[in-house]
Chain A
Amino acid sequence: MAGELESCKPLSGLLSGLAQDAFYGHPGITEELLRSQLYPDVPIEEFRPFQAKMRGILKSIASADMDFNQLEAFLTAQTKKQGGITSDQAAVISKFWKSHKTKIRESLMNQSRWDSGLRGLSWRVDGKSQSRHSAEIHTPVAIMELEIGKSGQESEFLCLEFDEIKVNQVLKKLSEVEESISTLMQPV
Chain B
Amino acid sequence: MVKATTGTAQIHAEGEYAPLLDVWSDRYRQEGWHYLLEAIFGDQLPHTPELLIDFQWKLGMAVSSDSCRSLKYPYVAVMLKVADHSGQVKNKSFEMTIPQFQNFYRQFKEIAAIIETV
In-complex Cβ contact of A109 among B62, B77, B82, B116 (8 A) = B62
- Cα-based distance from A185 to B98 in the complex (angstroms): 11
The size of the chain B interface, using a CB distance under 8 A, is 46
Interface segment, one of A7-15, A72-80, A82-90, A156-164: A156-164
**A115 with B111: in contact, given A159-B48, A164-B116 (CB under 8 Å)?**
no
Contact residues of A: prevailing secondary structure: mixed
Contact residues of B: prevailing secondary structure: mixed
**Across the interface, do A157 and B49 meet the contact criterion of CB distance under 8 Å?**
no
Q: A residues within 8 A CB of B112? A: 164, 167-168, 171
**Number of A-B residue pairs at CB separation under 8 A:** 137
The size of the chain A interface, using a CB distance under 8 A, is 51
**Across the interface, do B96 and A117 meet the contact criterion of CB distance under 8 Å?**
yes
**Across the interface, do B118 and A174 meet the contact criterion of CB distance under 8 Å?**
no
Q: B residues within 8 A CB of A188? A: 72-74
* 18 A-B residue pairings within 8 Å (CB atoms): A63-B68, A63-B69, A65-B68, A108-B71, A109-B73, A113-B62, A113-B75, A116-B92, A116-B94, A121-B104, A145-B47, A159-B46, A160-B52, A160-B80, A174-B57, A178-B105, A184-B59, A185-B98
A174-B104, A181-B59 known; 17 new pairs, CB 8 Å cut-off, are A108-B65, A109-B68, A109-B73, A111-B67, A111-B68, A112-B62, A112-B68, A113-B75, A115-B77, A115-B93, A138-B118, A142-B111, A143-B49, A145-B47, A160-B80, A167-B111, A177-B59
